[in-house]
Structure 1
Amino acid sequence: MWLNWMETAPRRVLALISAACVAMLAFGMYLQYGVGLEPCPMCIVQRYALIAVAVFTGLASLRQGRGWWLGWGLLALLSAGFGAFVAARQSWLQWYPPEFATCGRDFYGMVENYPLSRAIPMIFRGSGDCTAIDWTFLGGSIANWSFVAFVLMALALLGLLWRQLRPR
């Protein structure tokens, strides 16, 4: 049934993914401003990936043209894959923290004070903030659940693109 719905109403699937991204972003804002958790640099990068997925799937769902939403859907798939990569890296750092965890600069401090060629590796190296687990749900950290969400979005987008591109 789900696969038939993906084939008959791809724009609705894209709009649903976009709405899920917005809900996840709202929950992240609640955790930051309501609960008081400060996001680490890798969390911020995941937020940007989530915003990209929301924007690309939202744009893809706006128009009827198949080429229009396939292009935006592909960009959303790439953004979801990047978000899954960052979340997996953060989960790895949480499971296997470095011996000397230091609290490095914040995300904006890295980007403002270093060229991107140095700032990007610093972000993915992680810091003491990125290895901390401040919130869990059913035994998984925010990074773990973020990874699951990005993978589910990527699988839905892959299924959508595959169903639409296969020969009939």
Structure 2
Amino acid sequence: MTDARSAPERDLLAALTLVASVATAGSLYFSLGLGLVPCELCWYQRILMYPLVVVGGVAAVEARPGAWRTVLPLSLGGLAVAAYHVYLQVTPAAAGSCSIGGGCAAVQYPMLGGLLTIPRLSLLAFLLVSLLALGLVRLEGESGGGPTSPWQ
């Protein structure tokens, strides 16, 4: 039986798992369904996103808000890689170092008239996961179970 305090944590963990699951399914659809070859930075982002589905899912089932200690390093790392990837896509002249399957700017699969691209979707997913993990940090601090900041 769970106490009332674990409901917000479970909700955040479920939302985190949902975002990571959609991002994972989306990346697989782009490569397996549409046949787009992932670049090197895409692979790094996948490496950082895919475990979040399992970590978030298990933590949601077990109501473990302390999972932020695992989630936050992965999501912030992915956020940094995705931000760099967006930068390379916006400035194609800088994209010479990303080469698996072509340059990072080579695969342009724009959605919504070019507003959303694959790197921007990844950036959005990592941002959402990071914010949800920070929500877990805050809830854990309010319940007296730990720090109010991951850096304390």
Q: Would the TM-score normalized by the shorter structure come out above 0.5?
A: yes
The answer to whether 1:25 aligns with 2:20 is no
Query: Where has structure 1 moved over 6 Å in runs of 4 or more?
Result: none
Q: 1:21 to 1:98 in 2, by over 3 A?
A: same
* Residue of structure 2 in register with 1:119 after alignment: none
* 1:71-150 alignment runs, 5 A limit: 72-98=67-93, 101=96, 104=99, 106=100, 128-138=102-112, 139-150=115-126
Aligned-residue identity in percent: 27
Counterparts of 2:132 and 2:139, CA distance in 1: 10
* Higher-helix-fraction structure: 1
Counterparts of 1:100 and 1:155, CA distance in 2: 28
Counterparts of 1:32 and 1:82, CA distance in 2: 22
* 1:27-42 alignment runs, 5 A limit: 27-42=26-41
The one-letter amino acid paired with 1:143 is P
* Residue of structure 2 in register with 1:164 after alignment: 140
Q: 1:167 to 1:73 in 2, by over 3 A?
A: closer
TM-score, normalising length from structure 2? 0.77
Counterparts of 2:23 and 2:97, CA distance in 1: 29
Counterparts of 1:32 and 1:48, CA distance in 2: 15
Q: CA deviation at 1:131?
A: 2.3
Q: CA deviation at 1:98?
A: 3.0
The one-letter amino acid paired with 2:19 is A
Structure 1, gaps ≥5 residues long: 107-126
Q: 1:80 to 1:100 in 2, by over 3 A?
A: closer
The one-letter amino acid paired with 2:28 is M
Instruction: Indicate if the aligned counterparts of 2:19 and 2:128 stay in contact, CA closer than 8 A.
Output: no
Structural RMSD (CA): 2.6
> Structure 1 stretch 150-159 or stretch 127-136: which is displaced more?
127-136
The one-letter amino acid paired with 1:156 is L
Counterparts of 2:131 and 2:62, CA distance in 1: 22
Q: CA deviation at 1:164?
A: 2.0
Q: CA deviation at 1:146?
A: 0.9
Counterparts of 2:133 and 2:110, CA distance in 1: 27
> Structure 1 stretch 38-47 or stretch 152-161: which is displaced more?
152-161
